[in-house]
Amino acid sequence: MLNVENLVVRYGMIEAIKGITFEVKDGEIVTLIGANGAGKTTTMHAISGLIKPASGSIFLDGTDLTKVPPHTIVTRGLAQVPEGRRVFAQETVEENLTLGAFFRKDKDKIEADMDNVYTLFPRLKERRTQLAGTLSGGEQQMLAMGRALMADPKIMLLDEPSMGLSPLLVSEIFSIIEEINKKGTTVLLVEQNAKRALAIAHHAYVLETGKITLSGTGAELAKDERVQKAYLGG
Amino acid sequence: MAFLSYLINGLSLGSVYAIIALGYTMVYGIAKMLNFAHGDIMMVGAFVAFFALNSFGLPVIVSVVLSMLATTVLGVVIERLAYKPLRQATSLSVLITAIGVSYFLQNGAQLLWSSSTKVFPSIIGNGSLKLFGGQLQISYLTLVTIFVCVAVMVCLTLFINKTKTGMAMRACSEDKGAATLMGINVNSIISITFAIGSGIAALAAVLLCATYPTLSPTLGSMPGIKAFTAAVFGGIGSIPGAFLGGLLLGVIEILSKAYVSTQLSDAIVFAVLIIVLLIKPTGLLGKKLSEKV
Ligand SMILES: Nc1ncnc2c1ncn2[C@@H]1O[C@H](COP(=O)(O)OP(=O)(O)OP(=O)(O)O)[C@@H](O)[C@H]1O
Ligand SMILES: [Mg+2]
């Protein structure tokens, strides 16, 4: 579904991503783990078009995303839940969800999807007329995920969805990610919470200062000594 | 009665400021830049309307529409050519560019149109509404000016709050990256914003010249600065703020001219601005982001 090939991203003189290649297969949960500053967000932004890569290709079902206008990427079935949620604080919960479906024309399906989001996140339904900026961190994370779901994506990118959440909420968010995946959405998940991420991932990659240093199934990497030392506190 | 009459004149002048300020504030709210050429775009609108009325003898409505079309196109072209390449640049470079565009328009107008003095024709006539047995006279021009301003304000508010494009504008004003992730074409939204802001500036131009009829290439500077002040006064980025700021500025200016001193009126206007900003740094309605574009 998603093929990243020899991706290089620079900020001025700094090369943040130094030629990485990885793949996300249809129906999988793939996770990219790495320390602060490894280049996880940069990779996500390159895929969703928020940063223009210096070189390399990003194929979504055969289309090179580096060659299309950034705002059309979501219309091709790729939605991103950005780092730090980035909900529209001055809009209501419902308006945020409506914005998630901004490019869509299928009114009836949009309504059905909104109902599904409210079923998945009942708390959002209770707060549908509340301004997003007044939601708690966890609720904002749910809203950001709901907003991405409103694009009816084939593949969803999540950038550190567990950041700053209580352990209980982290569990909730991870089980919802699995649920979304079981319903047929492919997932690319970036996490610092490597333990949780590896536990649900079919496939995993380790990113270190702009390079992929290890890859394997989630279970393989969870057992790997180097991963345990560096990311699992063992 | 004299006071009431000054107040109404103030509202009329303030209406012109408010319309210009709405353009300023919209562009700021979305493109996050101060378009210092905004007053000069208005000036071009004044000349286009003048030629349409005077040289081609077109009806007022047609002339106004032509003038609005001209400023709309001009605003969009300026954004594309001068500001868009600077999207990633520092705000200081953008500001300097905007000042450059302002001079470019003024000098261009000087070259093209300033060979003779031009006096804007009367468009509404000299009639007036007489109230209290003729003690209070309100000219039709004044009434039209205030009406147009209120109409512009109402239309803009409806547009921003009720349409899909308006929703996209609100999203862009908050977070352009997140807006892009929603599938919003941020460049088009910025163009639309410049189009609307510049288009309504032509309305202000015609109303201003109907009241103060001498045309010159610098006619946009002072109203431009006043409108910018009005936008800051009301809270830059806020649509109702620009409206309120514009009206208040007009009223304060006319009242100070009438009761204090003609020479000092501008100083008083700015003194009030400074006091307001000291008390509320975001302006009167600033930070009420729900109404911000
Ligand atoms: N806008 C920018 N300008 C310059 N350098 C940047 C910019 N954004 C990121 N970087 C640099 O690129 C590198 C990768 O950053 P990135 O945000 O992708 O890391 P990350 O893996 O997402 O980290 P974290 O886990 O802290 O979110 C870092 O060294 C960072 O300093
Ligand atoms: Mg990051």
Segment A163-206, tens digit of pLDDT? 989 999 999 999 999 999 999 999 999 998 898 999 999 999 99
What domain range is B59 assigned to? 2-120+135-279
Judge whether B127 lies within some domain. no
- Total domains in chain B come to 1
Per-residue model confidence as pLDDT tens digits over B53-88:
998 989 999 999 999 999 999 999 999 999 999 988
- Grade residue A234 by pLDDT with cuts at 50, 70 and 90: low
pLDDT, position A229: 83
Judge whether B238 lies within some domain. yes
Determine the residue among A11, A83, A90 to mutate to test chain B binding: the one whose Cβ has the most chain B Cβ atoms within 10 Å. Answer: A90
- Grade residue A30 by pLDDT with cuts at 50, 70 and 90: very high
ipTM surpasses 0.85: yes
Residues with Cβ within 5 Å of ion ligand 2? A 40-41, 83
The pTM of the full predicted model, rounded to 2 decimals, is 0.92
Average pLDDT over residues B264-285: 87
- Grade residue B289 by pLDDT with cuts at 50, 70 and 90: very low
B209 to chain A, closest Cα gap in Å: 39
Which residues on neighbouring strands pair with residue A204, listed in sequence order?
Answer: A31, A216
Task: List phi, psi (to 5°) of B194.
Answer: -60, -40
Residue minimizing CA distance to atom 12 of ligand 1: A16
Does residue B122 carry a pLDDT above 60? yes
CB contact under 8 A, A74 and B182: yes
- CB contacts, 8 Å: A158 with chain B: none
The CA radius of gyration of chain A, in Å to the nearest whole number, is 17
Of B164, B175, B181, the CB nearest to A48: B181
Per-residue model confidence as pLDDT tens digits over A49-61:
999 999 999 999 9
Cβ contacts of residue B284 below 8 Å, gap of 6+?
A: B233, B234, B235, B241, B244, B245, B248, B276
pLDDT, position B287: 63
Considering only alpha carbons, which residue of chain A is nearest residue B291? A90
Task: Count how many Cα atoms sit within 13 Å of the Cα of residue A69 in the half-sphere of its side chain.
Answer: 11
More confident residue, B263 or A151: A151
pLDDT, position B134: 78
CB contact under 8 A, A79 and B289: no
With CA atoms as reference, report the closest residue to B285 among B233, B229, B250.
B233
* Ligand 1 neighbours by CB, cut-off 6 Å: A 11, 14, 16, 34, 36-42, 83, 192
CATH of the domain at B102: 1.10.3470
Determine the residue among B182, B185, B190, B290 to mutate to test chain A binding: the one whose Cβ has the most chain A Cβ atoms within 10 Å. Answer: B182
How far lies A36's CA from each of A137, A159, A227, in Å?
Answer: 20, 13, 15
Host H or E run for residue B16? helix B2-31
pLDDT, position A58: 97
Cβ contacts of residue A9 below 8 Å, gap of 6+?
A: A15, A16, A17, A39, A42, A43, A46, A51, A53, A54
Per-residue model confidence as pLDDT tens digits over B9-44:
999 999 999 999 999 999 999 998 999 999 999 999
Q: What is the DSSP string of A197-221?
A: HHHH-SEEEEEETTEEEEEEEHHHH
pLDDT, position B35: 92
Judge whether B289 lies within some domain. no
Average pLDDT over residues A8-18: 94
Q: Output DSSP code: residue B289.
A: G
Judge whether B141 lies within some domain. yes
Judge whether B284 lies within some domain. no
Average pLDDT over residues B171-184: 96
Per-residue model confidence as pLDDT tens digits over A56-107:
999 999 999 999 999 999 999 999 999 999 999 999 999 999 999 999 999 9
- CB contacts, 8 Å: B160 with chain A: none
More confident residue, A46 or B293: A46
Identify the weakest region by mean pLDDT among B151-155, B252-256, B289-293.
B289-293
Average pLDDT over residues B243-268: 92
CB contact under 8 A, B183 and A72: yes
- Percent of chain B surpassing pLDDT 70: 98
Of B164, B178, B185, the CB nearest to A88: B178
What the block records as the tokens of A36 is: 């602060």
SS3 of chain B: helix, strand, coil, percent, to 5: 75, 5, 20
- Grade residue B128 by pLDDT with cuts at 50, 70 and 90: confident
